[in-house]
A and B are shown apart, each in its own frame.
Chain A
Amino acid sequence: MGIFLIFLFLTNQFSPPTNVRAFDTPNDAGKSITITWSASTDSEIVGYQVFRCEPGKEMICVGTLSPFETQYVDERVNNGIEYSYQVVAYKIIGGDTIKVSSELSNPVKSSPQWFNLKRLNVLIGMAIFFTLILYFISHARRGKKLTIRRIAGLDAVEEAVGRATEMGKPILYVPGLSSVSDIATIAALNILAEVAKKTAQYETTLLVPNRDPIVFTVAREVVKEAYTSVGRPDVYKPDNIFFITDSQFAYAAAVDGIMVREKPATNFFLGMFWAESLILAETGATTGAIQIAGTDSIYQLPFFITACDYTLIGEELYAASAYLSREPLLLGSLVGQDYGKVVIVILLIIISILMLLSAKIPMLNVLHFLNIG
């Protein structure tokens, strides 16, 4: 009997979790404490329990974890109160749960932070890119000549408007199906301003069906301002910029109907699109219209490339308003953008070389610094 008790006592003894450390979770809005520990060396433990100790209160279990985890984030704490933690490892022998507790952790208080250090790399990248853009804008402001590459889709805008005028048919402009918070929609509205100026000069009908009510109100203002800016407010027809529905396929059906009935000479599909992109572009192709599309959705680009005469790929959509207006300040930002790409390509080459070398020299693993490794 005595030998059995000694055996039971010995088998019940196992190493507790060690190095229990509690700290305020960094880069957060507060009310969170992170607890880490070194795992128990016993391979038979079935899990850990994390206990929170608050002055003047009973210790309570705040989390149960698997034996493979060594970190817990307690998000049910209040800021400014001192807490300490204890981690309990447990295993089951003969139906009984045997527990062993760690030492109490250091006391810790939770507090909110004013800067997310994890986003420091984004801040640095943004600062470099903004500097480049602002430098080239000031360069353009000083009257320096800037050269930008030709974009066939944008060169075709003038021709497309002219064709519609000659044929006496309207131009259909779809500013995407997304909301105004989408940057592609804003780019589409910027291009709409330039297209509207041309249609105002040629007195060509411009139809702008909208899916989003806010985009509709902004589009109406954009067209109105564009007509006024070229001195033709008299030809502006507010009824031609209209809201259809916010239902994706009902909108696609309505725009298809417009294309089939009105037979526009030119269709613009610029902005953000989803599955309806091909439905719109294919219907337009069957009506024989010149089609100019542009989107930053890489999944819809192949459909537009297939069904449209010209497609603005990704960044060309954002460059369009600068390209069409030829305003030096806007062109300056385009050149800045290109230099931004050069910086990224150089960085990619350097990082790739460093990562290859890091197999031999671990300190060259720069992905850790970039928060992506």
Chain B
Amino acid sequence: MQRQIPLALCLIFGIFMMVQFFVPHPVSNAAYEIVLRWVRIIAIFALVLGVGSLVMHHSTKIKRKASGWPFSIVTLVAAIITAFVGLLGVNVVNGKLMFFAGIGKTSLLQILFQNIYIPVNSTMFAMLAFYMASAAYRAFRARTKEATLLLVAAFFVMLGMVPIGSAISPRLPEFAEWILSVPNLAAKRGIIFGIALGSIATSLKIILGIERGWLGGGK
């Protein structure tokens, strides 16, 4: 029964969503909206479970003094402070703390978001440039035929995209463009076809209950 109910729900809603795609009638759209609303409601409940998991995970790490446990204290303290300032609507007006004053520009939540969250997020994103350099170094070591091809193609594309490329030869930017719009695009389209068919086949298998991996597998 524990397995049959999810499979039956999956079959019913899978077929419904498929049929809904072809039916523009308001009745169909209204039913679709109801399903989306339920998805949002379920997501909220799942978020509660997620926060519970976060607290449990880090509490256990602190208790066991596992590797990097002080970071868990930072995580929990940050989560509690953020929840506290958000729920109590803490605002800083003329240097004074005000409670239940919403989450506008003067709210502590916005101040934390603007001055801690965004800079930290940007820092992580900025690190991508360094990771790209190290990944490019690894990719461009021409150890195999494929890696050599990648190196040569990347060399021409990069050269064609900078002013010195057109200074060397006006044909270079054209060649770089050709690499991107012919062989590169052809390969991309091939992959996209495979992805589209694969996702349709996976959906069909899940709807019909043939693919049960999402339920942990088994019969």
- A194 lies within 8 A of B217 (CB): yes
CB distance from A217 to the nearest CB of B (A): 5
Closest 10 CB pairs of A and B: A225-B216, A190-B213, A213-B50, A318-B198, A315-B198, A315-B194, A243-B50, A249-B124, A213-B46, A193-B213
Beyond A213-B50, A282-B131, A317-B198, is A116–B23 a contact (Cβ under 8 Å)?
yes
Which chain B residue lies CB-closest to A226?
B216
Partner of A279, one of B131, B211, B218: B131
- Complex contacts, B203 vs chain A, CB 8 Å: 183
- A113 lies within 8 A of B195 (CB): no
- Complex contacts, B29 vs chain A, CB 8 Å: 29
Question: Does B206 interact with chain A (Cβ within 8 Å)?
Answer: yes
Instruction: Give residues 38-83 of A contacting B (CB, 8 Å).
Output: none
Question: Does B127 interact with chain A (Cβ within 8 Å)?
Answer: yes
Instruction: Give residues 113-135 of B contacting A (CB, 8 Å).
Output: 117, 120-121, 124-125, 127-128, 131-132, 134-135
CB distance from B103 to the nearest CB of A (A): 17
- A116 lies within 8 A of B22 (CB): yes
| A315 to B53 Cα, complex, angstroms | 32
| Tally of chain A residues near chain B (CB < 8 A) | 90
Partner of B191, one of A216, A221, A301: A301
- B134 lies within 8 A of A296 (CB): no
Beyond A191-B213, A222-B213, is A303–B135 a contact (Cβ under 8 Å)?
yes
CB distance from B42 to the nearest CB of A (A): 7
- Complex contacts, B54 vs chain A, CB 8 Å: 242-245
Partner of A218, one of B128, B193, B214: B214
Beyond A249-B125, A278-B132, A282-B131, is A306–B139 a contact (Cβ under 8 Å)?
yes
- B193 lies within 8 A of A341 (CB): yes
21 pairs, CB–CB < 8 Å, chain A vs chain B: A113-B25, A186-B214, A190-B211, A194-B217, A197-B217, A210-B50, A213-B43, A214-B43, A221-B215, A239-B56, A243-B49, A244-B54, A253-B124, A257-B68, A278-B131, A298-B192, A307-B135, A307-B138, A314-B191, A314-B194, A333-B210
- Complex contacts, A112 vs chain B, CB 8 Å: 24-26
| A305 to B197 Cα, complex, angstroms | 22
- A257 lies within 8 A of B71 (CB): yes
Which chain B residue lies CB-closest to A189?
B214
Question: Does A34 interact with chain B (Cβ within 8 Å)?
Answer: no
Question: Does A344 interact with chain B (Cβ within 8 Å)?
Answer: yes
Partner of A29, one of B24, B39, B213: B24
- B125 lies within 8 A of A275 (CB): yes
- Chain B 12-50 near chain A by CB (<8 Å), digits 1 or 0: 000000000111111001000000000100110011011
Question: Does B199 interact with chain A (Cβ within 8 Å)?
Answer: yes
Question: Does A89 interact with chain B (Cβ within 8 Å)?
Answer: no
CB distance from B24 to the nearest CB of A (A): 5
CB distance from A1 to the nearest CB of B (A): 61
Instruction: Give residues 144-187 of A contacting B (CB, 8 Å).
Output: 181, 183-184, 186-187
- A137 lies within 8 A of B210 (CB): yes
- B195 lies within 8 A of A315 (CB): yes
Binding site for B on A (CB under 8 A): 27-30, 112-116, 119, 122-123, 126, 129-130, 133, 137, 181, 183-184, 186-187, 189-194, 196-197, 210, 213-214, 216-218, 221-226, 228-229, 239, 242-245, 247-250, 252-253, 257, 261-262, 275, 278-279, 281-283, 285, 296, 298, 301, 303, 305-307, 313-315, 317-319, 321-322, 325, 329-330, 333-334, 336-337, 340-341, 344
| A197 to B49 Cα, complex, angstroms | 24
| A321 to B202 Cα, complex, angstroms | 10
- Complex contacts, B217 vs chain A, CB 8 Å: 193-194, 197, 225-226, 229, 325
- B198 lies within 8 A of A319 (CB): yes
- A186 lies within 8 A of B206 (CB): yes
Beyond A243-B51, A261-B67, A337-B197, is A321–B46 a contact (Cβ under 8 Å)?
no
- B49 lies within 8 A of A213 (CB): yes
- Chain B 46-83 near chain A by CB (<8 Å), digits 1 or 0: 11011101101100100000011001000000000000
Beyond A278-B128, A341-B193, is A130–B204 a contact (Cβ under 8 Å)?
yes
Which chain B residue lies CB-closest to A278?
B131
- Complex contacts, B56 vs chain A, CB 8 Å: 239, 242
